[in-house]
Amino acid sequence: MSDRIYLDHNATTPVDPRVLEKILPYFTEIYGNAASNDHDFGYEAKKAVDKAREQIARVINAKPEEIIFTSGATESDNIALRGIAEKYADKGDHIITCVTEHKAVLDVCKKLESLGKKITYLPVDQYGMVDPEDVRKAITPDTILISLMFANNEIGTIHPIEEIGKIATEHDIFFHTDAAQAVGHLPIDVQKMNIHLMSMSGHKIYGPKGIGALYRKKSNPRVEIEPITFGGGHERGVRSGTLNVPAIVGFGEAVRIGNKEMNKENKKYREWAEYMLTELRKEVPEIQLNGHPKNRLPNNLNISIPGIESRALIVKLKEVAIATGSACTSAKVEPSHVIEALGFGDQRAHNALRFSFGRQNTQEKIDQAMNHLVSNIKRLKAFSSK
C-alpha cells in the first residue's frame, strides 16, 4: 500500500488531515439538523454550514447566499443546465457548450436534446481550447446559456473564462462554468469573470466525496433556477434535502486551505510536470504533450507516447497510479472524447497517460515514479520492436 505512488489527483484527492480534523466532531457531537431551528443542536449545525458557505463565497468573491450545497459537481451541472433550460424556456431553447466537457455536462445536454432543446457543441483547437470568437458566432436570439468548463479534467487546458463571460454578458446570456478542477487550485473571481453559475466539487480539493456546490448569482443579473428535485425547500428551494453537515464543514475548510496554499503548491507541480516531460523525452523524444502548453492546470501532465498502448503500460506499472486516455467498456476500449477532440485521431488517445500531482507527493516519489515508468516504457519498446 505505502509503496504505491498516487498520481491521479484529477480523479480524486485524499481528504487533507486538517480537513478531517474539522469534520469529525460533526458526526457524533454536533449532529443537529441545520434546518431544525427549534433548539441549539440545529442552531450549531446551521452555524457550521453558514461558516462553510462564507469560506467558499469569500474564495470566489461571491455572497454566502449565492452558494447552494449539492452532492458534487455532477449534481451542480445537472441543476444548472436543466434548471435554466426549464426556467427560461419561454426566453429561448438554445445552449452553447463544447465537445471536451465532462460527461456531467455532455450527458445532461443529450437529455435536453431529447426534450427538444437545441445544443451547439463547439469544437476545440489542437490544445483543447475553445475560440471565444466561435462562442460569439454560435449565439442566436434563442440562446439562453453558455456552459464551458473552467479547466479540463483530462488534459488540463484552462479556458479563456473571463473573455467568454464578457461575451455572455454583452449578449444578456447566462454563463455557467464547471470549475470542479479549478476551485481551490486557481484564482477565481466570479464578479470579474462574469460567471453566473459555477459547479464545484469537494473531493477534487482534499475535501470529502459526495459534497459540492453550485454558485448562483443573485443580483445583476439575478439567475432563477427551476429545481430538479423537490422536498423541504432547503438551499433557497433550489436543492431540497437535509444538509450533509460534516461534509459541508470539510468542503469549506478544504476550499479555504486550497486557496491559501495554491501558489506554493502550483509552483511545485509546474516544476514536476516540466521535469517529468524533460526526463521522459530523453528516453522517448517523440512524446506528445496533450493540452495547452501554458494555459493548463499546474498539477496535470497529459502525454501520448507513440508506439506505446497506455493500457498495456499501466498493467505493468503496478507501483504508480495514473490514468489513461481511454476507458474500457464491456465491449471495447473507448478512446477519450477529450483527446479525440484535439483532432489527432484515436491512436493519440490510446497512447495517452495522465499524471496529476497532489499535496502529499514528494520529489522522491516523483523520481521513483519516473524510474518505474521509464523502465516499463523501455521494456514495452524492446518487446514491440522484436
Ligand X SMILES: *Cc1c(COP(=O)(O)O)cnc(C)c1O
Q: Which is nearer to ligand X, 19 or 149 (CB)?
A: 149
Stretch that binds ligand X, among 68-76, 168-176, 333-341, 371-379 (CB under 6 A): 68-76
Give CA–CA dist 311/176, Å, rounded: 34
Q: In the chain, how many H helices and how many E strands?
A: 12, 15
* Of positions 7, 23, 72, 323, contacts ligand X by CB under 6 A: 72
Smallest separation (angstroms) from ligand X to the CB of 204: 6
* Of positions 53, 102, 176, 256, contacts ligand X by CB under 6 A: 102
DSSP classification of residue 157: B
Q: What x-and-dash track marks residues 162-201 binding ligand X by CB under 6 A? A: ----------------x-xx-------------------x
Asked if 303 touches ligand X (CB under 6 A), the answer is: no
* Of positions 57, 73, 280, 297, contacts ligand X by CB under 6 A: 73
Q: Which is nearer to ligand X, 32 or 358 (CB)?
A: 358
Give CA–CA dist 100/148, Å, rounded: 9
Q: Per the residue annotation, which of 24, 36, 328, 362 is the catalytic one?
A: 328
Asked if 328 is an active-site residue, the reply is: yes
Distance of CA 30 to the CA centre of its chain: 31
Smallest separation (angstroms) from ligand X to the CB of 178: 5
Stated length of the chain: 386
Smallest separation (angstroms) from ligand X to the CB of 150: 8
Q: Backbone phi, then psi, for 356, in 5-degree steps?
A: -135, 120
DSSP classification of residue 30: S
* Of positions 156, 165, 212, 358, contacts ligand X by CB under 6 A: 212
Contact between 351 and 257 under an 8 Å Cβ cutoff? The reply is no
Find residue 147's DSSP bridge partners: 176
Asked if 9 touches ligand X (CB under 6 A), the answer is: no
Strands 300-304 and 143-147: unpaired
Contact between 78 and 86 under an 8 Å Cβ cutoff? The reply is no
Stretch that binds ligand X, among 70-78, 107-115, 238-246, 324-332 (CB under 6 A): 70-78
| 114 CB burial (10 A radius; 0-12, 13-18, 19+) | exposed
Smallest separation (angstroms) from ligand X to the CB of 102: 3
Smallest separation (angstroms) from ligand X to the CB of 208: 10
Contact between 214 and 70 under an 8 Å Cβ cutoff? The reply is yes
Smallest separation (angstroms) from ligand X to the CB of 149: 5
The reply to whether omega before 25 is within 30° of 0 (cis) is no
Q: Which residues are catalytic?
A: 328
Which residues lie near ligand X (CB under 6 A)?
72-74, 102, 104, 149, 153, 178, 180-181, 201, 204, 212
